């Protein structure tokens, strides 16, 4: 399957999704040292990205803010999905998958949050300041009613695919090739989530659009539909 993925190329589609050089993108991830060691020190959800995650964010704290905002949205969605009618219509393995997604996204969110202070990523105008009310209470994200299995899976896939395409699109924001391994590691987690969701929906788990990438500006507009504000690189 990996060879099939590497050989696929896409033209830009009318939804703004473009194909990155996936072969180079993921090949560069292997150049990042310490991944195996990280796997021995952290839980699986963290080990995917912790080996080199911190190296990128001194370069551009705004990238960190955007990544944090996306992971916070994902963690919020999957944790709240447990209380929906759509979730009650999932079978046992599907519920277990949603629980895994929620745990992994929360683990990523906490890890990114721990890096924001050290890398000066809490300036005015970031997601954190823009997405709180005057009382400093956080504004909640908002979603469709999620009253059916189909609506729940459709919304979950939309969020996850756009997160995956956003991480693919981040390649252009990173000039140091060694640091591309960071984006590749995060995209790997999101990609596995996307494949599982597509399989639940009876779709091809790894179609050609799996290769897609979107710009930060387009990602910001797509995620704004769920209430995400701020954080996107200009």
User: What confidence tens digit (pLDDT) does each residue in 175-231 have?
Assistant: 545 445 556 677 788 899 999 999 999 998 877 656 688 887 788 889 989 988 754
Which residues are bridge partners to 132 per DSSP? Answer: 138
pLDDT score of 150:
98
CA–CA separation, 67 and 101 (whole Å): 16
pLDDT score of 216:
77
202: DSSP letter = T
pLDDT at 154 over 90: yes
pLDDT score of 49:
45
pLDDT at 3 over 90: no
CA–CA separation, 95 and 82 (whole Å): 8
Are 130 and 187 within 8 A, CB to CB?
Answer: no
CA atoms within 13 A on the CB side of 20: 26
Structure tokens at 175: 């000039």
pLDDT at 170 over 80: no
Domain borders along the chain are 31-224
Q: Write the pLDDT tens digit of every residue in 7-65.
A: 222 222 334 555 443 444 444 443 333 333 233 333 444 444 443 444 444 445 666 67
Of 18-32, 82-96, 143-157, which gets the smallest average pLDDT? 18-32
CA–CA separation, 219 and 78 (whole Å): 19
pLDDT score of 69:
84
pLDDT score of 233:
39
pLDDT score of 148:
98
Are 216 and 166 within 8 A, CB to CB?
Answer: yes
Closest residue by Cα to residue 155 from 97, 94, 226: 226
| Superfamily in which the 31-224 domain is placed by CATH | Ferritin, core subunit, four-helix bundle (1.20.1260.10)
pLDDT score of 10:
26
Closest residue by Cα to residue 71 from 97, 95, 45: 45
Q: Write the pLDDT tens digit of every residue in 92-143.
A: 999 999 999 999 888 878 877 776 676 566 654 455 555 554 444 455 788 9
Structure tokens at 20: 């990155």
Closest residue by Cα to residue 228 from 163, 165, 174: 163
């Amino acid at each position: 399957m990996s060879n099939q993925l590497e050989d696929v190329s896409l033209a830009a589609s009318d939804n703004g999704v473009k194909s990155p050089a996936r072969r180079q993108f993921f090949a560069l991830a292997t150049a990042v040292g310490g991944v195996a060691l990280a796997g021995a020190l952290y839980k699986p959800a963290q080990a995917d990205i912790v080996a080199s995650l911190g190296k990128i964010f001194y370069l551009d704290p705004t990238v960190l803010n955007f990544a944090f905002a996306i992971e916070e949205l994902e963690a919020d969605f999957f944790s709240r999905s447990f209380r929906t009618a759509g979730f009650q219509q999932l079978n046992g393995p599907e519920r277990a998958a949603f629980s895994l997604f929620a745990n992994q996204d929360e683990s990523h969110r906490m890890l990114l949050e721990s890096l924001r202070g050290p890398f000066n990523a809490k300036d005015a105008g970031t997601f954190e300041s823009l997405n709180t009310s005057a009382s400093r209470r956080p504004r909640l994200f908002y979603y469709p009613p999620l009253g059916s299995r189909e609506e729940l899976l459709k919304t979950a896939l939309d969020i996850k695919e756009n997160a995956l395409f956003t991480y693919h699109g981040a390649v252009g924001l990173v000039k140091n090739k060694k640091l591309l391994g960071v984006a590749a590691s995060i995209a790997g987690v999101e990609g596995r989530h996307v494949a599982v969701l597509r399989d639940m929906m009876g779709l091809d788990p790894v179609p050609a659009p799996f290769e897609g990438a979107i710009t930060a500006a387009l990602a910001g507009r797509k995620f704004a539909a769920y209430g995400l504000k701020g954080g996107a690189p200009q």
